[in-house]
Amino acid sequence: MKRLLTIIVIILTSIELRAQNDFPLGVYLFGENDVDLYQMKDSLILNWVQTVVQNEDGTLESNLLNTTSNLDISIMGILLKDVYYLSKAQRMIFEAEQDSSSTKSYFNDRPDSVSSNEGNFRKAEININRQGYMVQSPVPDNEYHYDQTTYSASFLLKIKKNRSDNPLVCRLEIAYASPCSTYIDSISLYYNDFTNEGIHTFTRTFQYSSQQSPSNSFGVLCGREEVSPQALSLTNTGCKGVDIRVYWYGDVTTSLDKIIVEDTLGKNLFSGMYDSIISNSASVLNGYPQVKRFYLKDEPPISAFLAHDYIKRQLDIAVPNRGTTAAIYHSFERFLNDAKPNELLVDNYPITSDIPSPAMTDNEAANVGIVPYNNESNNYTKLLQMKINNWLIEKGLRPAIESAKKSNKDFWFVPQLHGEYIQKAGQFKLTFDPNGPDEWPNAGDYALRPPTGNEIKMMINLALAYGAKSIIAYPYADNVINKTLEER
């Protein structure tokens, strides 16, 4: 940690950044609170830190809170007891009438011959439309994370009630996406399942894992036949993604509003089950105004964005005028729309071990899985420029500032000051068995390597040039990766 903090001092002072009230300049601690904040304040010209303020047992980090108050340092605070965990909750809403959009979940296949948009619904009408799939192929179809396997899909539909018999209305299906296309769960609905013309919610619980596929497959299902979610075998078949669809039988005018997909945590969160828990966790910080932001799940997937917004609203009630934030490296516009953070905090880390390090000899680099600097086929400048262009600028800085401006939010940048030394591999590279107990999926891939001082300066200067309104450095040590991907 001392070595990396020294690098921060050199870099930040060398580019003449001066911490002012209108320019947040800080460092990630992520709970590593055994540091000399007085020295950091003087050396780093620091006015912000990101760290844990409430432990898992509910106790507060009192020394940190008192010291930051004395030093006038603002905090992005992590509430470990409940809130940080709850911000992992997953929920996606697929609006039936939604057209393709990078900021919404939608259905890629909606044949106009079967149904058409009518207000907020997708409507299939007798004597006008033919039977078939009203919607299918949801986008995104692979947002299932945190090792969760139990999900629910809630279908919101209504029908025209004008007959006395009990025909089939539609079939609700959940299946593995192509190329597997095997059913996980399916049920057909009848006319009498709808008691009136109002919206009815039909919820199906299903089991999903990217390593699972059904032990048998089913053709087109008729009647009230169901596929058991327990009919799964753990086979590494490459079945990834879920297809959620509605098949209309053509006999009853039917309107589909939306389909809501949640994991168990998400279902409970959005039901209000944890509202008082969130409020109680945050309320204890009412006396600490330097906690300016609550830091929610770091680098959340799309499926957790809505949970961030829900928790933010609960926190705003309990502790007004604080707000929430979290670093993100993808889907910036959607994150701003769905999660509604107070600013856009971006951490696209570009320096990986397939880029030679000018700070290492060839032998030093080879011993830790970094491409040697003097290898003519691996030109340093060319490889670095390619990664900076493709990852840092085109997928990071440029879309970040465009999204931030569109949402009228500030863009904050998190420069990479760290590498990921994989202890089990003994390298900055994933080289051990991907099917071993830790199930690393990308064995052979290059991990992050420690950047040089000039590389750090380059990242910060580029971010400032693209309009960053803050620099919050990430100075994690290099030898911490000895866990599964989710535990990191």
∠ CA(467), CA(473), CA(475), 5° rounding? 155
483 found inside a domain: no
SS3 245: strand
Same domain, 253 and 274: no
Of 400, 307, 383, residue with least CA distance to 348: 400
The pLDDT of residue 435 is 52
Same domain, 253 and 296: no
CB 259 within 8 A of CB 244: yes
- φ/ψ (deg, to 5) at 295: -90, 115
Give the C-alpha separation, 158 to 484, whole Å: 44
Q: What DSSP element (H or E) covers 68?
A: helix 62-71
482 found inside a domain: no
pLDDT surpasses 70 at 202: yes
What's the one-letter identity of residue 255? S
pLDDT tens for 217-259 read: 222 222 333 333 333 332 334 567 899 999 999 999 999 999 9
Same domain, 431 and 357: yes
Tokens in use for 351?
A: 């320096």
Q: What DSSP element (H or E) covers 306?
A: helix 305-318
pLDDT tens for 436-463 read: 444 444 456 788 999 999 999 999 999 9
Give 477 or 196, the one with higher predicted confidence: 196
Same domain, 164 and 18: no
pLDDT tens for 264-292 read: 999 999 999 999 999 999 999 999 999 99
- Number of domains, the chain: 2
Same domain, 18 and 95: no
We report the CATH number of the domain holding residue 130 as: 2.60.120
pLDDT surpasses 90 at 4: no
Give 477 or 261, the one with higher predicted confidence: 261
The pLDDT of residue 80 is 92
The pLDDT of residue 218 is 27
CB 77 within 8 A of CB 51: yes
The pLDDT of residue 423 is 77
The band of 309, judged by pLDDT with boundaries at 50, 70 and 90, is very high
SS3 3: helix
The domain in which residue 170 lies consists of 91-264
Same domain, 289 and 237: no
DSSP string, 377-404: TS-HHHHHHHHIIIIIIIIIIHHHHHHH
Same domain, 16 and 140: no
Same domain, 106 and 76: no
Exposure of 357 in the CB half-sphere (CA atoms within 13 A): 24
Give 375 or 487, the one with higher predicted confidence: 375
pLDDT surpasses 60 at 151: yes
10 found inside a domain: yes
∠ CA(395), CA(399), CA(400), 5° rounding? 100
The pLDDT of residue 216 is 29
Mean pLDDT of the chain: 85
- φ/ψ (deg, to 5) at 267: -60, -45
The band of 200, judged by pLDDT with boundaries at 50, 70 and 90, is very high
The pLDDT of residue 215 is 31
pLDDT surpasses 60 at 101: yes
Of 83, 106, 145, 105, residue with least CA distance to 269: 83
The pLDDT of residue 43 is 84
Give the C-alpha separation, 332 to 398, whole Å: 11
Pairing of β 150-159 and β 200-207:
antiparallel
Give me the mean pLDDT over the 120-129 stretch. Answer: 97
The pLDDT of residue 42 is 86
The pLDDT of residue 55 is 94
Same domain, 38 and 119: no
Q: What DSSP element (H or E) covers 338?
A: helix 332-338
The pLDDT of residue 231 is 30
Same domain, 324 and 400: yes
Give me the mean pLDDT over the 22-45 stretch. Answer: 88
pLDDT tens for 356-382 read: 999 988 899 989 989 888 766 568 999
Domain boundary among 241, 264, 287: 264
pLDDT surpasses 70 at 103: yes
Give the C-alpha separation, 341 to 364, whole Å: 42
Q: Facing residues of 173 across strands?
A: 186, 245
329 found inside a domain: yes
Which pairs count as long-range contacts for 105-112, CB under 8 Å and 24+ apart, including other chains? Answer: 105/138, 105/139, 105/140, 106/138, 106/139, 107/135, 107/136, 107/137, 107/138, 107/139, 107/245, 108/136, 108/137, 108/138, 108/139, 109/133, 109/135, 109/136, 109/137, 110/134, 110/135, 110/136
Tell me the chain's radius of gyration from C-alpha atoms: 26
Of 426, 424, 420, 440, residue with least CA distance to 485: 440
The one-character DSSP state at 343 is S
Burial class (CB in 10 A: 0-12, 13-18, 19+), 149: middle
Give the C-alpha separation, 485 to 145, whole Å: 11
Q: How far apart are the first and last CA of the chain?
A: 17
Does the pTM of the predicted model rise above 0.85?
Answer: yes
Domain boundary among 264, 282, 310: 264
